[in-house]
Structure formats: structure tokens, C-alpha cells
Structure 1
Amino acid sequence: MTVATLPTTKAEEWRYADIPALARLAPDALEQWRAIAVPAGESLADTLVLASGAPEMHRLRVTLGEGARAELFAVVAGGDYARLDIDVTLGRGAHFEFGGVTIGGGDAVREIVTRLRHAQPEATSNQVVRAVHWGKATGNFLGRVDVARHAQKTDAAQDFKGLLLERGAAANARPELEIYADDVKCAHGAAIGQMDEMARFYMASRGIAPDAARALLVRAFIADAFAAAEPQAGEALLEQALAALQGAAL
């Protein structure tokens, strides 16, 4: 990949990216999109884990037919720069469900970037993203929802929360809505903070050791992202995420 072909942080969808790490990817990495088409009335459920020690980027382009449903859940826990891009176009009455977690320490940047295109009426979408980071790591979520002028009765929601386990870690969130229809329900929320000390104190008062209390609180925090997944898949992803906690300041 030459310097000339790299994006810059002036581009909104790359504003928090690790551009030098992108330069270490394969030359055609930015052009590699995995296309997923879900026909009308059908359903798809899939999971994805990014956990390599080298820069890693996965890009998905999803098209949902009328009344189709897609559920995607992901853990981004790479030891180096890791990025998951998801671009979804929803047909009439379609539904898209996404749950994602970025987690890790060191000085890596891990990010999830989504763009949902509500192109037809009566489609729904829900996104739940959690970030847990320590050391000098950064977790990012950039989520954009576009609602076309004729896409009435759209119902779209996205929720991001970041948990910083150490001073020096960071999380960035940029939820964005672009709505041209007037009969819609669209909501987004973002919050970034540290461990709930009151919850820790409450658990300690009931005999739970401090390190165990912190681990339980982190587990519950991450589990939100997989609450809508099929139980077996959700539990497997939760364990993948928790495995990245080794070495964290709990």
C-alpha cells in the first residue's frame, strides 16, 4: 500500500484510525469487502473475532432484502491495530442487529465503524457496542445511520459505552444520524467512564473480593453487547472477550 492511497484522519470515517498501522496492511486491503446478501424473508446469524497480533481489517458489505434479518456479533481484540467496517443496506421491513466489543491493552487502536442505510420503509436496526481498554490503548466506535426520504416508519437505535480500566487509555465515539424522512424513531447514546466504585463497594460489603468484583462488573458490562445473540454464540464471544483481559489492571 503506497502512501498516496492511504486515507487520512481528515476523512470522518478514519479520524481516529492508526494510519501508520494501515500502511503495514496488504496493498489492496482497503478494497477488500466481503459481500453478504440476505434474500427477502430469510435470516442470517454470524460472528467474527479479530484477535491477531498484526494489523487487521475486515470490511463487510451487507444487503438485506424485504423482510430479511441479519444478526452480526463481533469481538475486536487484536494485539495491533484492528478495524471492523460494516456497511448495511436495509430493504423494506428488514432488521439488522449488531453487537460488538473492542477490548485490550498495550498501545493498540481497535475500532468498529458502521454505516446503516435505511433505504426502504419499515426497517429496523439496533446496535450495541462496548469498549474496554487499559494501558495506552484506544477503542473507537463510529456509527452512522442514514434514513432515506421515503424510508418512513424506520426504527433505528445505537448505544455505545466505554470502560477505561487505567489512566492513559482512551475511547472515542461518534454516533451520527442523517434523517430525511419525518415519521421515524432514531436514537443514539454514548457514555465513557471508569469502573463504578459504588458497585464495587456494594459487592465488597457482601464478601466478594475486590478483584473478583471488578471481573464480574467487566463481564456484565461486556455481556450487554451479546444479549441479543443466540445463547451459545453469545457465551462463546463473551469468553473470547474475557480472555483478552489477561494482564488488565483488575
Structure 2
Amino acid sequence: MTEATTLPTPALPTRRDEAWRYADIDALGRIGTDALDNWREVSLDAGETKRECMIVGSGAPELHRIRVTLGEGARLELFASNAGSDYTRVEVEVTLARGAHFEFGGVTIGGGDVTREFVTTVRHDHPEATSNQTVRAVHWDTATGNFLGEIKVAKDAQKTDAAQDFKGLLLEAGASANAVPQLEIFADDVKCAHGATVGELDETARFYMAARGLSPELAQRLLVQAFIADAFVSLDDEDQHARLLDAALAALEEAPR
């Protein structure tokens, strides 16, 4: 008689794990540990191109995990609007072959006592690959927006060009935005850059817009729209561009004026 073997239930990560340091672990528990093993695989052959636009977030916690493999000269553009009313995490792991390119643009936006985050790991394992990541976060109440971005450049990955840019905009004092850029570089002929800033809405700009007859609501919407549009600037599909912006700006209806 053969006895059935019961595999142990995977444990939830903790905030001691660097990639989960700002995560809502309680909300993750409501999703369930099975989701941790649920990776969506995206593989592009040499020279292939693909664009994907995601609108994520709902009234329940969400975890989206995407593992990407790009062949030589392949290109993936991934854009995401993260405006759910509960914890939402989009996690992307990318491995690039020679001459491949990964483009990522993401927006987290919303209020409540909610964490919304993007977590990326981009591996430059071969020469002449490029990557660019632009993330914008707009939050109020006690909401949090996070971007944890890791770039790994292997010893043989010369001529790598990789960049990350994060900006956070806080509409109330209780909100927060966190950026954790990590660079692990073993090649010497590379260009790798990252930037991160967090600030408040430009009151001078709002004053001048009000002086020209714009309502506070419209002035705020226009300023936020200009701020988050940076994340989608490389998206040349007008319909998808408008769709992502509209999804993000819809959350702004709940923001303080």
C-alpha cells in the first residue's frame, strides 16, 4: 500500500524579504499562497515584437506575476494602470538576449488604506540589450504606491543600456510612495541610470490655473494627467493610451480637492 504524500503549504513571504518589504502581507494572505506559483509566461522569439496594456485592480486583492524571455533583437512593451481599491501587485521578471529591448510604463493611483505596487527584475545576460522603466505614483488618504526595480547586468553583457525613473505625487500628508532601485552590474561598458523623487502638487501651477478660470477639480485633474502621462509617453497607440489614462484618472474622482 502506497501512502499519499501531502506537500507542505507554501509560506507567505514576510517584509524581511526585500521584494516584499512594503507589501500588504495580510491582503496577500487573502489571495492565497497558490498564487505565488502562478506565473504567466511570455516568450518572444528573435526579432519578435509585442505590446501589452494592462488595467489591474478591483475590489479584491490581486497578484499578477509575469515571467518574460526575450530572444535576440526581440522587443516587449508593457504598460499598466494600477488603480484598484484593494492591494494590487504587478511583478515582472525579464531576461533579455542580445539586442533585445524591454519597455515598461506603469501608474499606481488611488486613496484608501491601500497598497499598490510594481516589482520588476530585469536581467541583462547578453550584450547590447536595452531596457527602460517609467513609473508614476499618485496617492492620497493613507495609500501607498511602491516601485521596486532591480537591474542585473551580467559580466558579458557589454553595451547594456538600462534606465529606471520613478516619481511620486502625494495629494495628502498621510499618503506615501516608496522607490527601491537596485543595480547589480558586473560589466564595465554599460549605461545604467535610475532616479526617484516624491513631492506634492505644484500649488503655484494650481493658482495660475485658477486665475484663468479653471475649477480646482479641473486644475488638479490636468496636473495629475500631465504627471502620469510620462509613464505612457512611448505608447504610440492612441486608443490604448487613452484607455490607460482614463482608467487611472477615474480613480481621481475620489481624491481630495
Give the TM-score, by structure 2 length. Answer: 0.94
Which residue of the other structure, out of 99, 120, 131, is the alignment partner of 1:93?
Answer: 99
Partner of 2:194: 188
* CA–CA separation in structure 2 for the residues paired with 1:6 and 1:147: 29
Alignment of 1:206-245 (within 5 A): 206-229=212-235, 230-245=237-252
For 2:4, the equivalent position in structure 1 comes to: none
Query: Where does 1:54-203 land on structure 2 (aligned, <5 Å)?
Result: 54-203=60-209
**Aligned counterparts of 2:214 and 2:84: Cα–Cα separation in 1:** 31
Q: Compute the displacement of 1:212 (Å).
A: 1.5
Shift of 1:208: 2.4
Q: 8 Å contact 1:3–1:23 — kept in the other structure? A: no
Which is further off, 202-211 or 176-185?
A: 202-211
1:224 alignment partner AA: D
| SS of aligned partner of 1:99 | strand
Maintained 8 Å contact 1:154/1:185? yes
* Alpha carbons 1:125, 1:156 under 8 Å: kept: yes
In structure 1, runs of 5+ residues without a counterpart are none
Cα separation, 2, equivalents of 1:187 and 1:27:
34
Q: CA deviation at 1:174?
A: 0.5
Greater radius of gyration (CA):
2
- C-alpha distance in structure 1 between counterparts of 2:30 and 2:9, whole Å: 11
Q: Any runs of at least 4 consecutive aligned residues in structure 1 with deviations exceeding 6 A, and if so which?
A: none
Aligned equivalents of 2:85, 2:154: Cα separation in 1: 38
Q: Following the alignment from structure 1 to structure 2, what is the Cα–Cα distance between the partners of residues 207 and 154?
A: 49
- Structure 1 window deviating more from structure 2 (192-201 vs 82-91): it is 192-201
Distance 1:88 1:113 in 2: 11
Shift of 1:3: 8.5
| Alpha-carbon distance in 2 for matches of 1:58, 1:4 | 18
Structure 1 length as normaliser, TM-score? 0.97
- CA drift of 1:97 comes to 0.4
Q: What is the one-letter code of the residue matched to 1:114?
A: T
1:131 corresponds to which letter in structure 2?
A
Determine what percentage of the aligned residue pairs are the same residue: 64
1:64-120 deviation line (CA, Å, top 9, x unaligned)? 000000000001111111100000000100000000001111101100000000111
Matched, 1:205 2:211: yes
Task: Tell me the C-alpha RMSD between the 2 structures.
Answer: 1.3
Aligned 1:17-36 pairs, distance under 5 A: 17-36=23-42
Q: Which amino acid aligns with 2:70?
A: L
Q: How does 1:6-45 map to 2 (within 5 A)?
A: 6-45=12-51
Give the letter aligned to residue 129 of structure 2. Answer: A
**Which whole-Å CA distance do the structure 1 matches of 2:136 and 2:161 have between them?**
21
8 Å Cα contact 1:34/1:60 also seen in 2: yes
